[in-house]
Structure 1
Amino acid sequence: MTGRPQTPLTFREVLDLPVSVDLRTAARAYGICLATAYKLIALGTFPCETVRVGHRHRVLTAHLLSALGIEERPVYADDLGDGVALTLFD
């Protein structure tokens, strides 16, 4: 754990996360430092469920998004330009 500040994840970065993330990434999504994340886990008050894998904690991205109040992925203009969103409507 380092004391250097981490910038919070942007909305787009949160939407591009893989299926699960490490605790550092989840903490960045909430705008808190890693030490605070560990304290919240110890207190049982971390904003979403974590999964213990060995000595590490992982967070399922679906739980992270739900706790952040993100119910669905918005379609961006550049997604339309790349043809990504077109498959959703075919």
Structure 2
Amino acid sequence: MVDLTTAARAIGLGRTKAYELARRNAFPCPVLRIGTSYRVRTVDLLELVGIERPLDADGLSDPDGQATRATV
């Protein structure tokens, strides 16, 4: 997860606008409110900017973003 300010910078928004959109549930990707903080899931942000996580041999995305092959 990344904080809202970091997510906003990644898509070219300022901090104030990002918080305004988050409060109105209008941020371009889902925003989670945890206590008093706003967080954006990294996978949602990457998808928004057009970056997909690599898939492993089974077609599953590896949690750390590295494509891996299962060893038998």
The TM-score with structure 1 as length reference comes to: 0.56
Q: Name the one with the larger helix percent.
A: 1
Q: Return 5+ residue gaps in structure 1 as ranges.
A: 1-19, 74-84
The TM-score with structure 2 as length reference comes to: 0.68
Count matched residues. 59
Runs of at least 4 residues off by over 3 Å = none
Structure 2 equivalent of residue 61 of structure 1: 42
* Deviation by residue 1:13-45 (Cα, 9 ceiling, x = unmatched): xxxxxxx11111001101111100011112222
Structure 2 equivalent of residue 27 of structure 1: 8
How does 1:1-90 map onto structure 2 within 5 Å? Answer: 20-72=1-53, 88=68
Q: Supply the AA of the counterpart residue of 1:57.
A: Y
Q: Return 5+ residue gaps in structure 2 as ranges.
A: 55-65
Q: Between the two structures, name the one with larger relative contact order (CA 8 Å, sep ≥ 6).
A: 1
